[in-house]
Amino acid sequence: MARSPDFREPSLPHPLQRVLGSLSAYRWTAIGALFSTLLLTAAYAVTPQLFRWGIDAGIAQRNLRVVLYSAGWMVGAAIARGLFNFGQSFWAEAASQGVAYDLRNKIFSKIQNLSFSYHDQSQTSQLLTRVTSDIEQIRTFLSTSLMQVISAIVTLVSVAVILLLMNWRLALITLTVVPMAGWLMAQFLSKTSSLFGQVQQQLGDLNAVLQENLFGVRVVKAFVRESTETARYTTLNDALVKTNMKTIRAIHDTFPFIFLLSNLVTVVVVGYGGAAVIGGRFSIGELVAFNSYLLLILQPILLIGFAAPAIAQAAASAERVYEVVDARIEIRDRPHASLFDSCVGRITFEHVFFRYPGATTEALKGVSFETKPKELIAILGMTGSGKSTIMNLLPRFYDVTSGSIRIDGRDVRDFTLESLRSHIGIVFQETTLFSGTLYKNIAYAKPDATLEEVIEVAKTAQMHDFITSLPDGYETIVGERGVGLSGGQKQRIAIARTLLTDYKILILDDSTSAVDAKTAAQIQTELDNLMRQKACTTFVIAQRISTVQNADRILLMDKGRLVAQGTHEELMFNSPLYGAILESQVKQKERV
């Protein structure tokens, strides 16, 4: 994912620290989990002492009562362990689910608010991986690894103290295993930590190919590229498995040594401790308890070992999640921004220059024009000449690089984004529909619209007859991205959707390009009246001469510059480029 539009304040704490901080919203649940962990550790630590008591004061003294008591207490300790184990995992899971829920919402609303420039430079699949897999890694860290580490540290410290109190010499020998195992773990982590970030990145890349193929399945089949695409996916899948195998290899390079250490220490305890028992300096019960503690002390080291990769993975994931959460929203309300609630129709572009983020050349070069109230402006030009770019700047999808855009004398950057965008009705060049009914798709920006209102705009968009011919009418479900509708039908739904909004300025970006000429002309006639009544200014980016001829004024774009403007007749007379474009279209029409 490109990183240029986003940045993280250097003063921000480490991402994992921030994840821990977000637990504060679930502090009582987290405290419940912590408390259960401490009690669980205590229940584990007390068991060897019960053994010692049962052997020394019970078996060795042939006192059956003590043996039975110690056995009874051991059962009690086992039940307590079960209960505290349940409490620990239940509460830890609940807190982690809460944090994941908050993070998912946070990242989703951030994605909604990020500027177009961020989305231009980021890969959708990487964003998807961050919202799903990365947040899941963080959740697993909180519910499992964090608890493992806390319980391991508490166990390690408490058992070390108990061992030192029982027999400090033997304890010191036993505890040498801790720094040695710790060193092995540190080696393991330094080898693998970068691999975990790599795994998540590769997962994102793999998702990218999957997503492209799902979206472009028709293109893939039409060009018979199935095997190439499969090979592309397999190559990335291989790379992911290779990186995963590297981490697994590192685990196998480390853990056998830790087990070897533990076995060596057991030998020492049995040898040295056995001699101490024979010498009368140590009881058998103490030796058995000591050996049990030895297992208890190795367990936390292994737990930390198992948790460490997950923690490294969660740290990498947290970094990736907070990268999006902290990404700068480039286009936002200025302080004291005012509401855009009325429009006379004087839109001014003054010496506007614009360069897309990351682009090497300017898409607009010193564009200046001013509209009059109620004007219908057509924007014409060769492909890539900057027509859509002009219209991207008015609702502030991007801000001008220099120059200014004003509506009735006020800079668009002085309006709140919400009021500005909700009063600019746009029909985009590419139509996006959502899975759901046709009614819901048309009423997307006005969910409380009545059926009559929806029907009215559908009629204007020449879609009503088609919709009523369907068995379920307006309740017909359209598939993902409008599957089941033709390109022209989708465009007409998009027009209807925009007409239902509370627009004051209307922008139609090549919005009837996929509609047949006859229907487009019908839409045009319907729209003409509407545009002049309801909108204070209308912009139509169009290729068809009919649309251009209807316009009050035509802006002619060429390579980012506004090269001519005027009515159809004026431009025919004045502009060789306009003449050339018209001529090519007439020829094209004749050929058709």
Ligand X SMILES: Nc1ncnc2c1ncn2[C@@H]1O[C@H](COP(=O)(O)OP(=O)(O)OP(=O)(O)O)[C@@H](O)[C@H]1O
- Which residues are near ligand X by CB under 6 A? 120, 356, 359, 363, 381, 383-389, 429
Quick count: other Cβ atoms within 10 Å of Cβ 460?
Answer: 21
Q: Closer to ligand X by CB, 276 or 378: give it.
A: 378
Q: Closer to ligand X by CB, 308 or 520: give it.
A: 520
Q: Closer to ligand X by CB, 124 or 522: give it.
A: 124
Q: Closer to ligand X by CB, 264 or 359: give it.
A: 359
Distance CA 96, CA 103 (A): 10
Element holding 243 (H helix, E strand): helix 226-278
Task: Tell me which residue has tokens 């405290």.
Answer: 31
**Residue 236 C-beta: closest distance to ligand X, Å:** 26
User: Residue 402 in 3-state DSSP?
Assistant: strand
Q: Closer to ligand X by CB, 76 or 384: give it.
A: 384
Q: Provide the CA 519 distance to its chain's centre, in angstroms.
A: 40
Beta strands 561-566 and 553-558, pairing class: antiparallel
Sign, CA torsion 44/49/52/53: negative
CB 321 within 8 A of CB 135: yes
Q: Provide the CA 479 distance to its chain's centre, in angstroms.
A: 23
Distance CA 353, CA 402 (A): 5
Q: Closer to ligand X by CB, 294 or 363: give it.
A: 363
**Residue 509 C-beta: closest distance to ligand X, Å:** 7
Which residues are bridge partners to 369 per DSSP? 349
**Residue 116 C-beta: closest distance to ligand X, Å:** 7
| Distance between start and end Cα atoms, the chain | 44
Concatenate the DSSP letters of all residues of 110-124 into one string.
HHHHS-HHHHHHS-H
**Residue 6 C-beta: closest distance to ligand X, Å:** 16
Q: Closer to ligand X by CB, 233 or 369: give it.
A: 369
* Residue 6 phi, psi dihedral angles, 5° rounding: -110, 155
Distance CA 349, CA 66 (A): 94
**Residue 12 C-beta: closest distance to ligand X, Å:** 29
Q: Closer to ligand X by CB, 121 or 211: give it.
A: 121
Distance CA 109, CA 112 (A): 5
**Residue 557 C-beta: closest distance to ligand X, Å:** 6
**Residue 584 C-beta: closest distance to ligand X, Å:** 14
**Residue 519 C-beta: closest distance to ligand X, Å:** 21
What is the amino acid identity at position 479?
G
